[in-house]
Structure 1
Amino acid sequence: MRTSICCCLFLLPVLTVKAQSPRPDTGTRQRTLTTVDVVHSVLKKEDDLIDIKRSPAPTLVISRKSIQLMGSRRLDEVLREQTGMVMVSDLGSGNRSLGLQMQGFSSEYILILLDGQPMTGRLSGNFDLSRIGVSDIERIEIIKGATSSLYGSDALGGVVNIITRQQVSRAQGHAAVRYGTYNTLDASLNGETPFRKQNGFAHLSANYYRTDGFNVNTEYLRDGKTSPPYHSITLQGRARRNFSANTSLQASARYASRKSDMLRSYGVQPFNDLLDERDLNTALTLNHSNNNGWRLLGRYYFTNYQTDQEVILKENGRQLQENKFSQQNHRLELQAGKNYNLLSLIGGAGGEFQQYRQNGDGLSNDMMNYFAYAQAQYQPATALQLTAGLRYDGNTDYGGKLNFSAGAGYRPAKWLKLNASFGNGFKAPTYAQMYQVFTNITQGYTVIGANIFHEKAKELKDAGTVKQVWSNAQNIRDLAPETSTSFNLGFTLNITEEAELTVNGFYHNIRNLINTEQFGIMNNGQQLFSYININKVFNRGLETSIRYSPLKGLLFTAGYQLLDVRSSDVLDSIRNHAGAYANVRTPEGIRPAGANDYFGLPNRSRHSGNAQIYYEYQPWGLGASFRASYRSKYGFLDVDNNGYIDQYDVFVEGYTLLYASIQKSLFDKRLTLRFSVDNLANFTNYLMPSQPGRVLMAGVEWHLRKRTTTPR
Structure 2
Amino acid sequence: MKRGLTILLILSIGSLYSQGVKDSLNNNKEKTVGEVVITGTMKEVRKSDSPVPVEIITPKLFQKNPTPSLFDAVGMVNGVKPQINCSVCNTGDIHINGMEGPYTMILIDGMPIVSGLSTVYGLSGIPNSLVERIEIVKGPASSLYGSEAMGGIINVITKNPQRAPKFAADIFSTSWGELSTDLSFKFNAGKKITSLLGVNHFYYDNPIDDNHDGFTDLTVQNRISVFNKWNFKRDQNRVASIGLRWVNEDRWGGEMNWSKKYRGSDEVYGESIYTKRAEVIGLYQLPFEEKIYTQFSYNWHDQNSWYGDTPYMATQQVGFIQSYWDKSIKNHNILMGASFRYTYYDDNTPATASADGLKNKPSKTPLPGVFLQDEWKINEMNKLLLGYRYDNDKHHGNVHSPRVAYKFSPNSTNTLRASFGTGFRVVNIFTEDHSALTGAREVIILNSLKPERSYNGNLNYVKKIMSTDLNLNLDITGFYSYFTNKIIGDFDTDPTKIIYDNLDGHAVSQGISLNTEWSFLAPIKIMAGVTYMDVYTKEKDNDGSYIRTDQLYAPKWSGTFVMTYTFPKKIALDFSGQWNGKMRLPIEPNDFRSEYSPWYCIANIQLSKKFDNGIEIYGGIKNLFNFTPKNPIMRPFDPFNKDVNNPVTNPNGYTFDTSYNYASLQKMRGFLGVRYNFF
Instruction: Please give the secondary structure, in 2, of the residue aligned with 1:510.
Output: strand
Three-state SS of the structure 1 residue aligned to 2:551 is coil
Task: Summarize the Cα distance change of 1:169–1:105 in structure 2 as closer, same or farther, 3 Å threshold.
Answer: closer
**Contact 1:69 1:623 (8 Å CA) reproduced:** no
| Alignment check: 8 A CA contact 1:111 1:155 kept | yes
Q: Which amino acid aligns with 1:262?
A: G
CA offset digits 1:450-509 (Å, max 9, x no partner)? 3xxxxxxxxxxxxxxxxxxxxxxxxx3322111111111131112225112122111111
8 Å contact from structure 1 (residues 214, 692) kept in 2 = no
Cα distance in structure 2, aligned partners of 1:499 and 1:423: 31
Matched residue type, 1:622: I
Whole-angstrom distance in 2 between the partners of 1:412 and 1:656: 39
SS at match of 1:91: coil
After TM superposition, the structure 1 = structure 2 runs for residues 669-684 of structure 1, keeping only pairs within 5 Å, are 669-684=613-628
Q: Does 1:621 align with 2:570?
A: yes
Q: Report Cα offsets for 1:239-268 as digits up to 9, x if no partner.
A: 111231243431110111110233326999
Query: What is the Cα deviation at residue 213 of structure 1?
Result: 6.6
User: Higher strand share goes to which structure?
Assistant: 1
Q: Distance in 2 between matches of 1:616 and 1:697?
A: 20
Residue 507 of structure 1: which of 466, 474, 480 is its match? 480
State how far apart, in whole Å, the 2-side matches of 1:261 and 1:297 are.
Answer: 43
For the residues of structure 1 that align with 2:236 and 2:37, how far apart are their CA atoms?
A: 16
State the SS of the aligned residue for 2:76. Answer: coil
SS in 2 for 1:183: coil
CA distance in 2, matches of 1:616, 1:340: 48
2:244 corresponds in structure 1 to 253
Conservation of the 8 A alpha-carbon contact between 1:150 and 1:391: yes
- Distance between the aligned counterparts of 1:549 and 1:99, measured in 2? 33
8 Å CA contact 2:161–2:229 kept in 1: the answer is no
CA-to-aligned-CA distance 1:272-330 (integer Å, 9 cap, x gap): 32211011110232124643xx3111122110011101356xxxxxxx33221110011
Q: Name the structure 2 match of 1:466.
A: none
* Equivalent of 2:306 in 310, 314, 339: 310
- Establish whether residue 408 from structure 1 lines up as the match of residue 406 from structure 2: yes
Distance in 2 of aligned mates of 1:413 and 1:426: 37
Matched-pair identity in %: 19
TM-score, length-normalised on structure 1?
Answer: 0.78
Q: What code does the residue aligned with 1:631 have?
A: N
Residue in 2 aligned with 1:386? 384
Q: Which among 514, 534, 558 is matched to residue 608 of structure 1? A: 558
Distance in 1 between the 2:196 and 2:97 partners?
36
Aligned with 2:150: secondary structure?
Answer: coil
Which amino acid counterpart does residue 207 of structure 1 have in structure 2? N
The structural deviation recorded for 1:51 is 4.3
2:202 maps to 209
Residue 565 of structure 1 contacts residue 604 of structure 1 at CA under 8 Å; is this kept in 2?
yes
| 1:58-137 matched pairs, under 5 angstroms | 58-91=53-86, 94-120=88-114, 122=116, 126=120, 129-137=123-131
* Counterparts of 1:71 and 1:235, CA distance in 2: 20
CA distance in 2, matches of 1:682, 1:405: 45
Alpha-carbon distance change, 614 to 296 in structure 1, aligned in 2, over 3 angstroms: farther
In the alignment, is the contact (CA less than 8 A) between 2:508 and 2:535 conserved in 1? yes
1:565 aligned partner, one-letter code: V
Distance apart, 1:140 and its partner CA: 0.5
Taking a change above 3 Å as real, the CA distance of residues 433 and 499 of structure 1, as seen in their structure-2 partners, is: closer
Give distance in 2, aligned partners of 1:183 and 1:435.
30
Q: CA deviation at 1:84?
A: 1.3
The alignment yields a C-alpha RMSD, in angstroms, of 3.3
Is 1:282 matched with 2:280? yes
Distance 2:280 2:184 in 1: 18
- Name the CA distance, whole Å, in 1 between partners of 2:44 and 2:504: 34
Residues 242 and 248, structure 1, Cα contact 8 Å, conserved in 2: yes
In structure 1, runs of 5+ residues without a counterpart are: 1-29, 313-319, 451-475, 583-597, 706-712
Matched residue SS, 1:135 = helix
Change (3 A) 1:81 1:543: same
TM-score, reference length from structure 2: 0.81
Equivalent positions of 1:23-34 (< 5 A) are 32=25
Aligned residue identity for 1:402: H
Alignment partners' CA distance in 1, 2:349 and 2:667: 37
Query: Matches of 1:437 and 1:180 in 2, distance apart?
Result: 30
Secondary structure of 2:236 counterpart: coil
| Inter-CA distance 623–433: structure 2 relative to 1 (3 Å threshold) | closer
CA contact (8 A) 1:436 1:447 kept: no
**Alignment correspondent of 2:314:** 325
Report how many aligned residue pairs link the two structures. 605
Match of 1:356 among 337, 342, 345: 345
**Are residues 361 and 493 of structure 1, via their aligned partners in 2, closer, same or farther at CA, if it must alter by over 3 Å?**
same
Q: 2:255 aligns with which of 260, 264, 268?
A: 264
Alignment correspondent of 2:216: 225
- Match 1:685 to one of 606, 629, 638: 629
Segment drifting more, 431-440 vs 501-510: 431-440
Partner AA of 1:695 in structure 2: R
Give the one of 514, 530, 533 matched to 1:544: 514
Structure 2 counterpart of 1:664: 609
Structure 2 residue matching 1:517: 3-state secondary structure = coil
Task: From the superposition, tell whether residues 553 and 148 of structure 1 become closer, same or farther in structure 2 (CA, over 3 Å).
Answer: farther
- Aligned residue runs from structure 1 range 646-657, under 5 A: 650-657=595-602
- Equivalent pair of 2:203/2:222 in contact (CA under 8 Å): yes
Q: 1:37 offset after TM fit, Å?
A: 3.0
| Partners of 2:505 and 2:546 within 8 A in 1 | no
Q: For each residue in 1:173-214, what CA deviation from the matched residue of structure 2 results, as whole angstroms up to 9, or x when unmatched? A: 1223211122100112211134544x3311101011012476
Superposed, 1:293-692 pairs within 5 Å as 294-311=290-307, 320-359=309-348, 363=352, 364-430=362-428, 432=430, 440-441=438-439, 443=440, 445-448=441-444, 450=445, 476-497=446-467, 498-518=471-491, 526-551=496-521, 554-569=524-539, 578-579=543-544, 600-616=550-566, 620-640=569-589, 650-666=595-611, 668-686=612-630, 687=632, 688=661, 690-692=664-666
| 1:200 matched to 2:193 | yes
Asked if 1:703 corresponds to 2:648, the answer is no
How many angstroms apart in 2 are the aligned matches of 1:261 and 1:67? 26
The answer for unaligned runs of 5 or more in structure 2 is 1-22, 259-265, 353-361, 633-660
Distance in 1 of aligned mates of 2:202 and 2:432: 36
Q: Secondary structure at the match of 2:72?
A: helix
Are the counterparts in 2 of residues 36 and 614 from structure 1 also a CA contact under 8 Å? no
Alpha carbons of structure 1 residues 246 and 108: separation in structure 2 relative to 1, 3 Å: same
Q: Distance in 1 between matches of 2:434 and 2:253?
A: 25
